[in-house]
Amino acid sequence: MPWTKVYGNKAEFEKLSGSTPGLRGITYKDALLEATTQMLASDKNVFVLGEGVDDAGGVFGTTRDLHKKFGKDRVIDTPLAENGVTGIAIGAALAGMRPILVHMRVDFMPLSMDQIMNHAAKWHYMFGGKVSVPVTIRSIIGRGWGSAAQHSQSLQSLFAHIPGLKVVMPATPYDAKGLLRSSVYDGNPVVFIEHRWLYEHIGHVPEEAYTVPIGKAVVRRKGADVTIAAASLMVYEAMKAAEDLKAEGIDCEVIDLRTIKPLDIETLTGSVKKTGRLVVADTGWKEFGIGAEVIARVVEEAFHALKAPAVRVALPDVPTPASPVLEKAFYPGKEHIIEAVKKMLVRERP
């Protein structure tokens, strides 16, 4: 989904994304492609595998032509056998390689859950820290186009619940490139979740290789009245909501979580201690989701700073509909964040 369809015009998107005129700007998908290209070129232990990674489209452009540049022994198209392919990636990681496994849809990752949960996540602990499993599992979430219940899920909380896994959800092209490199060289399993609606977003990305630290959130917009913590696509919805609320005299601070696990609780509590209010916006379901975990952690660390009950903005507890009309009602956006903020302001604790 191009930024023009989501944000109306380039100037509006650049304002929301923090793009700076004159700096090199590329799309989110090209940032992922560039990061992968640089790692393949500089490290013989890095390789890519997954269903369709050598297709003409190259997984929405993120692996485009890599098999032509580096050969099919390092960019490997795999059978439709998710559990087996994941096992191959884990075995390669145990042997000292740094595989980047691409799952084109997160919906099919549960087919690999035994390998991910019972093997990749546990070997480092089972062998007293002497064994590492440096596998990066790229997984794609999304919405729209009638993708419905089995092709549009956001399952980040499912993987974040498992000890031994890290889960990242970059929202910007800059973070996509930097966090992918950090994930590959982290030394243990990282689930790297990308939203399809972000692929055409344009942002500043340096040409040279760099890293963005896993486990560190960033304040995208400073404010004094309400903290809005968001991940992935919801960061942009939060920024849009903050702009609209500013016109009504409500000053929102927007935090891009960037990493779901481990959470940057220090940045979150620091912001809440300043604003006294918290809204969490997630692409997944509300029940037992990321919003619940963020709020629980903030309550544990900074309960007395809260002036009102925290609010979650997330999906309702039903499978995703296929109808465009129902999709519009199903997915939350800036309007729901604005509603949550206003609701909070009238529910101040005595």
In terms of pLDDT, which residue wins out, 347 or 85?
A: 85
Burial of 84 (0-12, 13-18, 19+ CB in 10 A): middle
Which pTM was predicted? 0.92
E strand or H helix at 191:
strand 190-195
Q: Is the pLDDT at 277 greater than 90, yes or no?
A: yes
Q: Is the pLDDT at 263 greater than 70, yes or no?
A: yes
Percent with pLDDT over 70 in the chain: 92
**What is the overall mean pLDDT for the chain?**
92
- Catalytic residue from among 14, 34, 51, 82: 82
Note whether 48 and 40 are within 8 A (CB).
Answer: yes
| pLDDT score of 87 | 97
**Pairing state of beta strands 218-221 and 252-256?**
antiparallel
Looking at residues 12-25, what average pLDDT do you find?
62
Q: Is the pLDDT at 27 greater than 80, yes or no?
A: yes
Burial of 56 (0-12, 13-18, 19+ CB in 10 A): exposed
| pLDDT score of 148 | 86
Note whether 240 and 334 are within 8 A (CB).
Answer: yes
Domains of the chain, CATH where assigned: 3-204 (3.40.50.970), 218-345 (3.40.50.920)
Q: pLDDT (tens digit, 9 = 90+) per residue, 50-90? A: 999 999 999 999 999 999 999 999 999 999 999 999 999 99
Q: Is the pLDDT at 100 greater than 90, yes or no?
A: yes
Q: Is the pLDDT at 42 greater than 60, yes or no?
A: yes
**Pairing state of beta strands 259-261 and 166-168?**
antiparallel
Give the sign of the dihedral formed by CA 90, CA 37, CA 168, CA 339. negative
Residue 138 Cα distances to 105, 135, 221, angstroms: 9, 10, 28
Give the full edge-to-edge strand order of the sheet including 136-141.
Answer: 75-77, 46-50, 98-103, 136-141, 190-195, 166-168, 259-261
Compute the distance between CA of residue 138 and CA of residue 270 in angstroms, rounded to an integer: 31
Token pair, residue 118, equals 């019972």
**Pairing state of beta strands 98-103 and 136-141?**
parallel
Compute the distance between CA of residue 21 and CA of residue 126 in angstroms, rounded to an integer: 50
Q: Is 82 a catalytic residue?
A: yes
Give the pLDDT band (50/70/90) at residue 14.
Answer: low
| pLDDT score of 147 | 82
Q: pLDDT (tens digit, 9 = 90+) per residue, 313-346? A: 999 999 999 988 898 899 999 999 999 999 888 7
- Catalytic residue from among 12, 151, 243, 301: 151
Give the full edge-to-edge strand order of the sheet including 311-315.
Answer: 218-221, 252-256, 226-230, 278-285, 311-315
Q: pLDDT (tens digit, 9 = 90+) per residue, 109-156? A: 999 999 999 999 999 999 999 999 999 999 999 886 778 888 889 999
Give the pLDDT band (50/70/90) at residue 6.
Answer: very low
Compute the distance between CA of residue 228 and CA of residue 338 in angstroms, rounded to an integer: 10
Q: Is the pLDDT at 10 greater than 60, yes or no?
A: no
**Alpha helix (H) ranges present in 163-259?**
173-184, 234-246
Compute the distance between CA of residue 77 and CA of residue 50 in angstroms, rounded to an integer: 5
| pLDDT score of 324 | 87
Q: Is the pLDDT at 312 greater than 70, yes or no?
A: yes
Note whether 222 and 194 are within 8 A (CB).
Answer: no
Compute the distance between CA of residue 125 and CA of residue 345 in angstroms, rounded to an integer: 45
Q: Which residues 6+ apart lie within 8 Å of 245 measured at CB?
A: 226, 251, 252, 338, 341
Residue 235 Cα distances to 22, 88, 267, angstroms: 24, 35, 16
Percent with pLDDT over 90 in the chain: 85
Q: What is the SS3 assignment for 303? A: helix
| pLDDT score of 5 | 40
Token pair, residue 149, equals 């219940």
Compute the distance between CA of residue 154 and CA of residue 149 in angstroms, rounded to an integer: 11
